[in-house]
C-alpha cells in the first residue's frame, strides 16, 4: 500500500486536516505558508531553509518556500508540487533550481526543472522528451522525474526518469509479461536540452538481477497502472570516472563508468563488493553523495531511511561511510540521529554536508515534516517542523546561502484607521533589505514624494501606523542601510 503523502495530494485529507497546523497570513500579499516552528539550541551554519511542502497542506502553502532560522517566510513560489528546491552553481553563479510537475502514486513524477537567477527570473527550463510509456498512455510535455536535478561541474544537469515496460518477472513470482518501471538517468545540456548521456537499470539486469530487489511483487502489482518498481532510482552524483547511482529498492549504490557499465557496488545489507567494518549498514536510502574522491577511495554520505511504508524498523539516520578501494572495505564513520526525537521516515529525505571543516549536517526527513541541523559532535543545534507528523512531506530540504533582489516590486497594502492608516509592506524573495521608508504621494503618477515614516524590517511583513497622513496616496521603499533596493507602486487608500 502506497502512503497518501507519496502522491501529489489527497482531496479528502486536505479537506479534513489542513487546519490542524498553523498557517501564516499577510495583509500585503495573498500567501498562506505553513508556520515553521523552530527550536534553535546552538550555533548553526549561515543560510536560509529551502523546503517544498506538499500533501496535507493548504493549496496556498504548497510551493517552493524559503524560511529564515526564526521561522519567518523569505520567499514563496507559485502554488505547485515541487522537489529539490535548492541553490546550485551554474557557470560560476548561484542559481536556484527546482522540479515542478505531477506525481504518481508510486512516488515518481513527470515534470520540468526550473533554473532561476538571483532576481527570480527563469533563465532555463530543462525538459526531457522521448519514447516513454506512461500508466495511462498519455504523452507528457516532459518526462523528468522528481528525484534528481543535479547541476554538474560540467554545467550539465543530471535527472532521473521512470519508463514503463513489459518484462518477464517469473523469477521473482510474477508473470512473463508483467509491467515494471525501468529506472533511467540522463545527463542533459542545460541550454539546448540535448541528451548527452543516458543509462537504464534494466539494461544492466545481468549485473543488477531482479532477484536482489528488496521490493517484492505483490498480488496487485504488475499491471500498467500498478507496475512493479524493482529499482527506484533516486540520486545520481558525478564522479571522477563516471557516476554513482542510488537504487533505493536494492539498498545499494552503483559506481558506473561513463559508458554505463558497473565498476563496483556498495550494499547496505552486506557491503556488496566491500567488507563491512563497524556499522556500515543502511536500507531504503535516499540522497547518496560522493565526497573527497581519490584513486584510493571516497566518502559516501546518505540519508538512511531504514523504513518503508509497510515495514517500520529502526530510527532514520544520516550516515557517512568510508570506501577503501585498495582494501575493499566500507567503514561506518558517522550515524546521526536525535536521541530525544527518534524519527521513522518511510520515504524521501536528504543529507546535506554543510561544512567539511566543522562537519555540520542538515537533514530533511522526507515523509516526516521535520528538518534538523547537527554539529560536528552529532548534537542537534536546530530542529524545525512545518506540519503534523505523517501529514506533510518535503522530498528534500536544504540550508543554502542565498542573496536575491527580485525583479518584481515590493507589495504594499493600506488599511484605514480612525486616526489615519496602517501600512503593511513585504517584498517576496528579497533577502538583503533591512528597513523601509514610507512616502506620501500626490497622485498615482507622482515621482517627487514626501518621506513620512520609517521602520526596521520585521520578518516577512512589516507594518507602520500613520496618524493623519497628508494625502490619500502612499508608496514604500525597501532599503539596505541607506541604499534603495526596491520601490513599490504608488497606491491610493
Confidence of residue 448 (pLDDT cuts 50, 70, 90): confident
Tell whether 19 is covered by a domain. Answer: yes
Q: Based on the fold, state whether residues 345 and 417 are members of the same structural domain.
A: no
Higher pLDDT, 312 or 212: 212
| Cβ atoms of 334 and 279 closer than 8 Å | no
Q: Based on the fold, state whether residues 354 and 429 are members of the same structural domain.
A: no
Q: Based on the fold, state whether residues 389 and 478 are members of the same structural domain.
A: no
Q: Based on the fold, state whether residues 201 and 245 are members of the same structural domain.
A: yes
Domain boundary among the residues 400, 424, 453 is at 400
Q: Based on the fold, state whether residues 316 and 439 are members of the same structural domain.
A: no
Q: Are strands 122-126 and 109-116 parallel, antiparallel or unpaired?
A: antiparallel
Tell whether 214 is covered by a domain. Answer: yes
Domain boundary among the residues 373, 400, 427 is at 400
| Cβ atoms of 49 and 371 closer than 8 Å | yes
Q: Based on the fold, state whether residues 37 and 76 are members of the same structural domain.
A: yes
Confidence of residue 82 (pLDDT cuts 50, 70, 90): very high
Q: Are strands 286-291 and 297-304 parallel, antiparallel or unpaired?
A: antiparallel
pLDDT of residue 13: 30
Task: Identify the residue whose cell numbers are 561506518.
Answer: 332
| CATH number of residue 477's parent domain | 2.60.40.10
| Cβ atoms of 55 and 10 closer than 8 Å | yes
Confidence of residue 4 (pLDDT cuts 50, 70, 90): very low
Q: What angle do CA 444, 448, 451 make, to 5 degrees?
A: 95
pTM over 0.85: yes
- Please name every residue paired with 109 in a beta bridge, in sequence order, or none if there are none: 103
Q: What is the largest CA-CA distance in the chain?
A: 82
| Cβ atoms of 360 and 375 closer than 8 Å | yes
pLDDT of residue 95: 98
| Cβ atoms of 436 and 462 closer than 8 Å | yes
What mean pLDDT value characterizes the chain? Answer: 94
Q: Based on the fold, state whether residues 363 and 307 are members of the same structural domain.
A: yes
| Cβ atoms of 202 and 159 closer than 8 Å | no
Q: Based on the fold, state whether residues 263 and 230 are members of the same structural domain.
A: yes
Q: What angle do CA 126, 131, 137 make, to 5 degrees?
A: 105
pLDDT of residue 310: 82
d(CA 403, CA 235): 27
Tell whether 440 is covered by a domain. Answer: yes
| Cβ atoms of 89 and 400 closer than 8 Å | no
| Cβ atoms of 369 and 392 closer than 8 Å | yes
C-alpha separations of 72 from 55, 140, 141 in Å: 21, 37, 35
d(CA 401, CA 38): 18
Tell whether 242 is covered by a domain. Answer: yes
| Helix (H) / strand (E) containing 16 | helix 11-17
| Percent of the chain whose predicted confidence (pLDDT) is above 70 | 96
DSSP, collapsed to helix, strand or coil, labels residue 203 as helix
Q: Based on the fold, state whether residues 395 and 419 are members of the same structural domain.
A: no
Structurally, how many domains does the chain consist of? Answer: 2
pLDDT tens, position by position, 13-28: 332 344 489 999 999 9
In eight-state DSSP terms, residue 13 is H
Is pLDDT of 12 > 60? Answer: no
pLDDT of residue 219: 86
In eight-state DSSP terms, residue 144 is B
Closest listed residue to residue 286, CA positions, set 342, 332, 351, 343: 351
Q: Based on the fold, state whether residues 273 and 385 are members of the same structural domain.
A: yes
Mean pLDDT over residues 90-99, rounded?
98
| CATH number of residue 186's parent domain | 2.120.10.30
d(CA 350, CA 362): 8
Report the Cα 116 to chain-centroid distance in Å. Answer: 15
Q: Which domain holds residue 416?
A: 411-492
Q: Could you tell me the strand order of the sheet in which 65-67 lies?
A: 73-76, 65-67, 48-51, 398-400
- Side-chain-side CA neighbours of 462 within 13 Å: the count stands at 24
Is pLDDT of 486 > 70? Answer: yes
Q: Based on the fold, state whether residues 450 and 478 are members of the same structural domain.
A: yes
Q: Could you tell me the strand order of the sheet in which 461-467 lies?
A: 411-416, 420-426, 461-467
Tell whether 405 is covered by a domain. Answer: no
pLDDT of residue 313: 78
| Residue 395, C-alpha cell as written in the block | 522530498
| Cβ atoms of 313 and 307 closer than 8 Å | yes
pLDDT of residue 309: 86
DSSP, collapsed to helix, strand or coil, labels residue 29 as coil
d(CA 14, CA 79): 15
pLDDT tens, position by position, 340-367: 999 999 999 999 999 999 999 999 999 9
d(CA 95, CA 265): 33
| Cβ atoms of 399 and 373 closer than 8 Å | yes
| Cβ atoms of 397 and 50 closer than 8 Å | yes
Task: Identify the residue whose cell numbers are 534528481.
Answer: 148
Task: Identify the residue whose cell numbers are 501529514.
Answer: 391
d(CA 39, CA 359): 20
pLDDT of residue 366: 98
d(CA 172, CA 182): 16
d(CA 120, CA 96): 8
Q: Based on the fold, state whether residues 337 and 264 are members of the same structural domain.
A: yes
d(CA 305, CA 322): 19
pLDDT tens, position by position, 172-224: 999 999 999 999 999 999 999 999 999 999 999 999 999 999 999 988 899 99
DSSP, collapsed to helix, strand or coil, labels residue 6 as helix
Amino acid at each position: 500500500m502506497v502512503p497518501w503523502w507519496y502522491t501529489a495530494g489527497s482531496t479528502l485529507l486536505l479537506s479534513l486536516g489542513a487546519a490542524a497546523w498553523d498557517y501564516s497570513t499577510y495583509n500585503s500579499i495573498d500567501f498562506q505558508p505553513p508556520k515553521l516552528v523552530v527550536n534553535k539550541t546552538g550555533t548553526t551554519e549561515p543560510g536560509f531553509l529551502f523546503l517544498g511542502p506538499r500533501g496535507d497542506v493548504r493549496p496556498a502553502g504548497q510551493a517552493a518556500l524559503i524560511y529564515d532560522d526564526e521561522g519567518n517566510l523569505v520567499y514563496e513560489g507559485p502554488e505547485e508540487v515541487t522537489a529539490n528546491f535548492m541553490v546550485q552553481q551554474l557557470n560560476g553563479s548561484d542559481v536556484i533550481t527546482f522540479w515542478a510537475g505531477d506525481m504518481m502514486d508510486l512516488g515518481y513524477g513527470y515534470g520540468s526543472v526550473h533554473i532561476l537567477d538571483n532576481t527570480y527570473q527563469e533563465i532555463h527550463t530543462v525538459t526531457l522528451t522521448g519514447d516513454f510509456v506512461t500508466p495511462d498512455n498519455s504523452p507528457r510535455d516532459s518526462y523528468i522525474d522528481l528525484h534528481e536535478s543535479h547541476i554538474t561541474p560540467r554545467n550539465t544537469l543530471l535527472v532521473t526518469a521512470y519508463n514503463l515496460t513489459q518484462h518477464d518477472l517469473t523469477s521473482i513470482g510474477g508473470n512473463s509479461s508483467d509491467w515494471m518501471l525501468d529506472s533511467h538517468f540522463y545527463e542533459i545540456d542545460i541550454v539546448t536540452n540535448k541528451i548527452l548521456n543516458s543509462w537504464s537499470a534494466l539494461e544492466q539486469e545481468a549485473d543488477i538481477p531482479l532477484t536482489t530487489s528488496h521490493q517484492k511483487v505483490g498480488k496487485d502489482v504488475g499491471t500498467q497502472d500498478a507496475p512493479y518498481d524493482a529499482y527506484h532510482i533516486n540520486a545520481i552524483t558525478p564522479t571522477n570516472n563516471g557516476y554513482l547511482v542510488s537504487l533505493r529498492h536494492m539498498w545499494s549504490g552503483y559506481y558506473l563508468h561513463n559508458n554505463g557499465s558497473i565498476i563496483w557496488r556498495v550494499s547496505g545489507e552486506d557491503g556488496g563488493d566491500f567488507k563491512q567494518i563497524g556499522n556500515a549498514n543502511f536500507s531504503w536510502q535516499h540522497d547518496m553523495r560522493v565526497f573527497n574522491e581519490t584513486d584510493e577511495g571516497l566518502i559516501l554520505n546518505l540519508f538512511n531511511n531504514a523504513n518503508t511504508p509497510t515495514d517500520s524498523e529502526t530510527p532514520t539516520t544520516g550516515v557517512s561511510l568510508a570506501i577503501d578501494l585498495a582494501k575493499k572495505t566500507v567503514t561506518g564513520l558517522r550515524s546521526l540521529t536525535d536521541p530525544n526525537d527518534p524519527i521513522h521516515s518511510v520515504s524521501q529525505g536528504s543529507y546535506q554536508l554543510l561544512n567539511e571543516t566543522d562537519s555540520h549536517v542538515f537533514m530533511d526527513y522526507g515523509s516526516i515534516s521535520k528538518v534538523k541541523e547537527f554539529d560536528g559532535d552529532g548534537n542537534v543545534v536546530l530542529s524545525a517542523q512545518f506540519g503534523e507528523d505523517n501529514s506533510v512531506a518535503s522530498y528534500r530540504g536544504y540550508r543554502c546561502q542565498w542573496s536575491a533582489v527580485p525583479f518584481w516590486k515590493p507589495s504594499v497594502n493600506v488599511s484605514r484607521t480612525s486616526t489615519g492608516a496602517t501600512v503593511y509592506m513585504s517584498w517576496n524573495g528579497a533577502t538583503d533589505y533591512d528597513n523601509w521608508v514610507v512616502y506620501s504621494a500626490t497622485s498615482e503618477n507622482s515621482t517627487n514624494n514626501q518621506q513620512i515614516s520609517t521602520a526596521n524590517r520585521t520578518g516577512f511583513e512589516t507594518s507602520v501606523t500613520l496618524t493623519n497622513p497628508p494625502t490619500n496616496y502612499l508608496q514604500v521603499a525597501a532599503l539596505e542601510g541607506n541604499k534603495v533596493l526596491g520601490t513599490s507602486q504608488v497606491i491610493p487608500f
